[in-house]
Amino acid sequence: MTKAHTNSSANSSRKYFGTDGIRGRVGASPITAEFILKLGWAVGKVLARKGYGKVLIGKDTRISGYMFESVLEAGLSAAGVDIHLLGPMPTPAIAYLTRTLRAQAGIVISASHNPYYDNGIKFFSAQGSKLPDDIEIAIEEQLEMPMTTVDSAELGKAVRIVDAPGRYIEFCKSTVSSDVSFNGLKIVVDCANGAAYHIAPNVFRELGAEVVDIGVEPNGLNINLECGAMYPELLRQHVLKEKADLGIALDGDGDRVIMVDSEGNILDGDELVYIIAKHRQQAGLFHGGVVGTVMSNLGLEQALDKLNIDFVRVPVGDRHIISELMQRKWILGGEPSGHIICLNSTTTGDGIITALQVLSAMQYMQQPLSQLKNGLHKYPQILVNVKVKDMCNLADRPRIQDALKNAEIELGEAGRVLLRRSGTEALVRVMVEGEDAVRVTQLANELADVVKADLAV
């Protein structure tokens, strides 16, 4: 059934925290050394009330990570909290190590798939999950207080965890059966010059694959630059050139993955979720259903229905997916962007672990990646981003609502329309999905034009 959706950020009442921590352009408020120093202090003060415990800090490879690692360390120390420094590590690795090292919290310095000139801070709880809302609110309240420093004898100490990469590599390998081997497979792995550059290739090599690695020479400025999950065309070219069995592209912080089959076809998160769900069902390991988002393709919903697998949609963001999975006691969810959650293996989106699940499906079903997606027919889907100055409630704009209704009527039962405010940028995302690619494109542009006229900069 066609549905027209509008949604607002769940964090609209927050001053700093967005849908995935705090993110922005380096040097522009709030992503400044001064603010991040105080943020570290505020986090330390809030956590100190909960009891003594160390905090882990990890980062991706963008150049500003050095600066923000130092000021976070200083702020936490001023609040009397000990710090363990992990260096460059994928976001999901920090979630895992926070849990296994019994830390009170983990801090990730990363802007994920954004360019090098952006950066951000996000947090994990002691359980390796996103911080509860009440803790984020308490941190924002603490930020309004004047910064103080504990007595010198109570200052936090900092140590570096030198074996963090090895610990995480072994964890990733442990998420597949011990009899799984990728001997004979040739894989291209694109690490986006990001946080997984020294980890992902080793995981697949140690499981027997021949690995051609690209995007493994970070210089602080080339993270996500025409490579990785945001630019899978580079991976596609290398897969065809190397005559590889498949390719794996991660983003800058390693929490999302896009894959390419031996024929050069690009597989997004919807297709990977479908493959994992189908494999688990055939292996008798699947219980419950799949959680997608409002951006998940209608074709995924229909393909899962043919397998008698339940499917529900939530707003965009892994926080919403994980919350729904836990509430329903399901284990699999994901987004077209390649951010996929396998709760039976880890607590957050993990590009390496997702790829391992897909490779395990290949081995179990004895089929190449190009065949595993059979049964899923994706509808043409067009996404247009509109820069806006007025981030008001879209439901309060009559012209926009009229355009939405008209598009919904025209598409009928075979399509969807979505208007969504970005949680990290001053954008409205316009998505139209339907059977006719030409008309879908026209409708998306027409609707975007209405949004521009009403709200644009």
Residue 136 near residue 158, CB atoms below 8 Å: no
Nearest to 292 by CA among 253, 320, 260: 320
Query: In sequence order, what are the residues at sequence separation of 6 or more whose Cβ sits closer than 8 angstroms to the Cβ of residue 182?
Result: 204, 207, 208, 209, 359, 363
Q: What span, in angstroms and rounded, lies between the C-alpha atoms of 221 and 216?
A: 13
112 is catalytic: yes
Nearest to 297 by CA among 362, 373, 361, 353: 373
First to last CA, the chain: 34
Name the amino acid, one letter, at 264.
G
- The packing angle between helices 164-174 and 351-365, to 10°, is 30
Beta-bridged to residue 323, according to DSSP, are: none
The catalytic position among 64, 77, 110, 112 is 112
Query: For 275-426, where are the E strands, in sequence order?
Result: 289-293, 310-314, 332-334, 340-342, 381-387, 415-421
Q: What span, in angstroms and rounded, lies between the C-alpha atoms of 189 and 215?
A: 8
Query: For 361-454, where are the E strands, in sequence order?
Result: 381-387, 415-421, 427-434
Q: What span, in angstroms and rounded, lies between the C-alpha atoms of 50 and 150?
A: 17
Nearest to 161 by CA among 79, 76, 102: 102
Q: In what order do the strands lie in the sheet with 415-421?
A: 4-7, 415-421, 427-434, 381-387
Residue whose pair of structure tokens reads 């994901």 in the numeric block:
334
Query: In sequence order, what are the residues at sequence separation of 6 or more whose Cβ sits closer than 8 angstroms to the Cβ of residue 163?
Result: none
The helix, strand and coil proportions of the chain, stated in percent and rounded to the nearest 5, come to 40, 20, 40
Residue whose pair of structure tokens reads 């399509």 in the numeric block:
415
Q: What span, in angstroms and rounded, lies between the C-alpha atoms of 224 and 191?
A: 9
Query: In sequence order, what are the residues at sequence separation of 6 or more whose Cβ sits closer than 8 angstroms to the Cβ of residue 398?
Result: none
Q: How many helices (H) and strands (E) does the chain have?
A: 14, 19
User: Which active-site residues does the annotation give?
Assistant: 112
